[in-house]
């Protein structure tokens, strides 16, 4: 048997597919299916609210356009592509589809982060599959890469840039010295950020993706609420100036690391050494570094969002589902319960903004020393008014929770004119 010949001779049956949610991703998926896979997949239903305004001339006239999900459940559809988003009613649609004997492919990170394990159980109970490759890092095949490509390793850490909006905004503040609010407004104008930017900017979008990554890569039974999550809103252009002096930049970093029975996991802005592949990530790109005991660091990167890249991930899951040998199965429900803490041990950067007077450095040094934290360096740029004076203290490696306690104590002192900002510095 020549390698490949047997497989190509097998004719997979035409599979009937329904799309729920005909927006950016749903339309891009329909385009790819109609242009490249119309002999393999038959798109039978497009479900959306107010569906009349969604009709497009480029889909077969046989497609049934519906705003009643019961039509999809009742039809002999093999696979539902859930591309609407949100927890509900998408969760109910996915459950009903699985219970009525349809496999599901979804791009919905919030649904999978919050209800993935129980939905996988529903799928398994009904002999169906639930795939969600598009839910993390858009078009970058990181979940399948972790699940299949790195199955032979024992992964102990994942670290990445998972939110293109945050990356766009931080890159903008860095390059133009723009205030955060201007950078956010531009991101919204250009369509990189939603009108309500909370999910992106305050870390909830990345936290959902990190939850899924932690389950798939680290087998960790973790819920999104267990992962510490900090906003990028507090980052100012002065922080980039100090970061550059420290040969670093600042990015929103999502990371999870197994250490014995503990899982340290957080989403937060952090200083990233300029030599790290994470520092080179621009605009809406995503990048994930997976660390294995045997294979070391493996990097996945590419377009983290956008209709077409995300649609590629959805169609790839659909193809995997319909492969004759069914080699790909739903990711297993995670097994390992770890104690979850936001406690990485790293060096830290703390920016203070004070009304200057004698004794400030002594007071700060005393509180750090009470918490057994060693100061590494003090940096102060000239040219700022004495009444609003920023300076930075870097700290030798210690637990983030210890630094937070010390900084909370310092924040109570009357010389602060702004809340201090503490950030981890990723190791070189």
Ligand X SMILES: NC(=O)c1ccc[n+]([C@@H]2O[C@H](COP(=O)([O-])OP(=O)(O)OC[C@H]3O[C@@H](n4cnc5c(N)ncnc54)[C@H](OP(=O)(O)O)[C@@H]3O)[C@@H](O)[C@H]2O)c1
Catalytic residues: 209
CA distance 427 to 159: 12
Planar angle of CA 236, 241, 242, nearest 5 degrees: 95
- Rounded to a whole number of angstroms, the minimum distance from the CB of residue 235 to ligand X is 24
Closest CB to ligand X among residues 136, 253 = 136
Torsion of CA 45, 47, 52, 58, to 10 degrees: -50
Closest CB to ligand X among residues 198, 401 = 198
CA distance 146 to 159: 13
Alpha-carbon distances of 80 from 76, 320, 400, rounded to whole Å? 11, 14, 43
- Rounded to a whole number of angstroms, the minimum distance from the CB of residue 304 to ligand X is 7
Closest CB to ligand X among residues 109, 399 = 109
- Rounded to a whole number of angstroms, the minimum distance from the CB of residue 267 to ligand X is 16
Encoded tokens for 65: 């356009």
Residue nearest to ligand X (CB): 23
Question: Which residues contribute to the site for ligand X (CB under 6 A)?
Answer: 21-26, 48-50, 83-85, 89, 107-109, 134, 138, 305-307, 310
Closest CB to ligand X among residues 305, 423 = 305
Closest to 227 (Cα-Cα) out of 200, 267, 262, 259: 267
Q: Are the beta carbons of 293 and 315 closer than 8 angstroms?
A: no
| Distance from chain centroid for Cα 300 | 13
Closest CB to ligand X among residues 105, 398 = 105
CA distance 70 to 34: 24
Classify burial at 293, counting beta carbons within 10 Å of its beta carbon; exposed 0-12, middle 13-18, buried 19 or more: exposed
Encoded tokens for 9: 């001779």
CA distance 217 to 227: 16
User: What single string gives the DSSP state of each residue in 286-339?
Assistant: EEEEEEETTTEEEEEEEE--SHHHHHHHHHHHHHHHH-TT----PPPPP-B--E
- Rounded to a whole number of angstroms, the minimum distance from the CB of residue 165 to ligand X is 10
CA distance 50 to 65: 10
Q: Are the beta carbons of 416 and 357 closer than 8 angstroms?
A: no
- Rounded to a whole number of angstroms, the minimum distance from the CB of residue 314 to ligand X is 8
Closest CB to ligand X among residues 41, 93 = 93
Closest CB to ligand X among residues 84, 271 = 84
- Rounded to a whole number of angstroms, the minimum distance from the CB of residue 122 to ligand X is 19
Encoded tokens for 276: 């790290």
Q: Are the beta carbons of 292 and 153 closer than 8 angstroms?
A: yes
- Rounded to a whole number of angstroms, the minimum distance from the CB of residue 92 to ligand X is 10
CA distance 182 to 172: 9
Order of all β-strands in the sheet with 15-20: 64-66, 41-47, 15-20, 79-82, 103-106, 130-131
Encoded tokens for 255: 């990371």
């Amino acid at each position: 048997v020549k390698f490949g010949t047997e497989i190509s001779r097998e004719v997979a049956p035409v599979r009937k597919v329904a799309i729920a949610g005909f927006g950016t991703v749903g339309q891009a998926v329909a385009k790819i299916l109609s242009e490249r896979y119309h002999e393999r997949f038959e798109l039978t239903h497009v479900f959306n609210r107010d569906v009349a305004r969604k009709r497009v001339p480029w889909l077969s006239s046989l497609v049934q356009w519906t705003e009643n999900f019961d039509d999809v459940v009742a039809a002999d559809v093999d696979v539902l592509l859930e591309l609407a988003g949100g927890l509900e009613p998408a969760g109910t649609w996915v459950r009903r589809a699985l219970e009525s004997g349809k496999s599901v492919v979804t791009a919905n990170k919030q649904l999978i982060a919050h209800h993935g394990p129980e939905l996988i159980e529903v799928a398994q109970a009904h002999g169906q599959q639930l795939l969600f490759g598009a839910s993390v890092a858009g078009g970058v095949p990181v979940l399948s890469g972790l699940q299949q490509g790195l199955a032979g390793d024992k992964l102990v850490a994942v670290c990445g840039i998972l939110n293109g909006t945050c990356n766009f905004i931080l890159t903008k503040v860095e390059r133009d010295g723009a205030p955060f609010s201007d950078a956010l407004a531009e991101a919204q104008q250009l369509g990189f950020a939603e009108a309500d930017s909370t999910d992106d900017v305050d870390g909830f979008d990345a936290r959902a993706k990190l939850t899924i990554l932690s389950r798939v890569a680290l087998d960790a039974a973790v819920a999104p609420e267990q992962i510490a999550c900090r906003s990028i809103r507090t980052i100012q252009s002065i922080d980039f100036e100090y970061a550059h002096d420290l040969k670093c930049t600042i990015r929103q970093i999502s990371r999870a690391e197994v250490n014995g029975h503990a899982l340290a996991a957080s989403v937060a802005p952090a200083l990233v050494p300029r030599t790290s592949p994470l520092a080179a990530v621009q605009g809406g790109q995503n990048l994930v570094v997976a660390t294995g005991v045997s294979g070391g660091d493996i990097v996945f990167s590419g377009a983290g969002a956008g209709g077409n890249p995300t649609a590629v991930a959805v169609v790839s899951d659909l193809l995997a589902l319909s492969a004759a040998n069914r080699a790909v199965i739903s990711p297993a429900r995670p097994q390992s319960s770890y104690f979850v803490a936001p406690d990485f041990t790293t060096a830290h950067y703390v920016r203070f903004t004070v009304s200057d007077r004698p004794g400030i450095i002594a007071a700060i040094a005393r509180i750090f020393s009470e918490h057994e934290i060693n100061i590494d360096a003090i940096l102060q740029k000239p040219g700022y008014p004495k009444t609003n004076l920023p300076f930075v203290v870097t700290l030798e490696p210690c637990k983030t929770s210890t630094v937070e306690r010390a900084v909370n104590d310092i924040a109570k002192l009357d010389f602060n004119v702004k809340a201090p900002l503490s950030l981890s510095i990723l190791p070189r």
